[in-house]
Structure 1
Amino acid sequence: MIASPLEKVRSYVQRYDSSIEPILFEQPLPTSEVAAQALGVEIGQIAKSILFRVDEQFALFVAAGDVRVHPKQVKAAFGQGKPKMATPEEVEKMTGFRVGAVCPFALQEEVPVYVDRSLKRFPMVYTAAGIAESLLPVSYEALLEMTGAKEIDAASAEGSAS
């Protein structure tokens, strides 16, 4: 039996911290703004996950909902080529999640994950939890641990991957 995307995320998170549970909503939360409003938090606390690709290489970038991932940072992470946002079909194939519900861990395929330091300013951030009606509360440190991500300054052209 194939687990639902939400169950896949829940199961993955339990290996790290059994106290973390997805928050479920009646309606989909299609944007950072809508998600922040539903939770009553700042837009920046919503961690958006965006999949980019160069040729057949993919990488997932996670940033605060109130920042724009800078193209130079995406290009620097790939090292070569011209990055493009992945298509909705590619997102689902690589992550196992639909656009708008992409959790930055428990991914279908192994892809490098980059977490932007813009999220570090909040004690708690909220990622998608596999379905459009869910959010997962995690600390910045837990997000880094669960994703195995590299920290970057995605919002700045001068920042570097570490």
Structure 2
Amino acid sequence: MASMSPLERVQHYVNQYDPTIKAMLFEEKLQTSEEAAQALGVDIGQIAKSILFRSSGRYGLFVAAGDVRIHAKRVKQCLEGGQPKMASPEEVIEVTGFQVGAVCPFALRQEVPVFVDSSLERFPVVYTAAGIAESLLPVTFQALVAMTGAQVVDMQTAE
């Protein structure tokens, strides 16, 4: 697996679940949820952004709708630690095996807990990065949760 490109790693992983799901490739890099939504002509909320956080030496990957701000209190609750911080670009590569802006929520280099935003459920299809900035992967909410083994949480509220 080490010799595979990030995109190949993602597709190999997805094939184990559903070989009909294929990564979409674009000419240009899609660095933000806005750029990805524009390229696809979809609502920004349909773009599932994957952000790695660190708290007390533990990592967690948070997958949220493109129009949702991940609440720091929610991250803290999920990671059960101190003050959570966004992981550095170097940590993101080390833990996920992907560059910032191209983090796929599965086929990760290291096993970390994944938390998926419940608001993604409002869309029939959501799009995650597929390992490189020029790619997106269309998946249903159910497939996303199944492939990540994620815990579904509401990212917007922190009771």
Aligning the two structures, in what range does the TM-score lie when normalised by the shorter sequence?
over 0.9
Structure 2 residue 100 is matched with structure 1 residue 99: yes
SS in structure 1 at match of 2:51:
strand
Q: Is the 8 A contact 2:55 2:79 kept in 1?
A: yes
**1:56, 1:142 → 2: CA distance?**
29
**2:105, 2:20 → 1: CA distance?**
19
> What's 2:110 paired with?
109
User: How far off its partner does 1:55 sit?
Assistant: 2.8
Q: Deviations over 1:54-86 (max 9, x none)?
A: 132100000000000000100000112110000
- Counterpart mapping for 1:80-95 below 5 A: 80-95=81-96
Q: Is the 8 A contact 2:56 2:81 kept in 1?
A: no
SS in structure 2 at match of 1:49:
strand
> What's 1:156 paired with?
157
**2:41, 2:102 → 1: CA distance?**
19
SS in structure 1 at match of 2:17:
coil
SS in structure 2 at match of 1:69:
coil
Q: Deviations over 1:91-132 (max 9, x none)?
A: 000000000000000000000000010100000000000000
Q: Read off the aligned partner of 2:116 and give its amino acid letter.
A: V
Alignment identity in percent? 65
Q: Read off the aligned partner of 2:94 and give its amino acid letter.
A: K
- Counterpart mapping for 1:1-162 below 5 A: 2-158=3-159
Please give the TM-score of this superposition, normalised by the length of structure 2: 0.98
**2:11, 2:81 → 1: CA distance?**
35
Q: Read off the aligned partner of 1:124 and give its amino acid letter.
A: V
Q: Deviations over 1:28-63 (max 9, x none)?
A: 000000000000000000000000001321000000
**1:80, 1:18 → 2: CA distance?**
38
- The runs of at least 4 aligned residues of structure 1 exceeding 4 Å deviation read none
| Unmatched runs of 5 consecutive residues or more in structure 1 | none
**1:52, 1:79 → 2: CA distance?**
12
Q: Is the 8 A contact 2:21 2:139 kept in 1?
A: yes
**1:80, 1:5 → 2: CA distance?**
30
Please give the TM-score of this superposition, normalised by the length of structure 1: 0.96
Q: Read off the aligned partner of 1:147 and give its amino acid letter.
A: T
SS in structure 2 at match of 1:103:
coil
**1:109, 1:84 → 2: CA distance?**
18
User: How far off its partner does 1:155 sit?
Assistant: 1.2
**2:13, 2:79 → 1: CA distance?**
27
**1:3, 1:79 → 2: CA distance?**
34
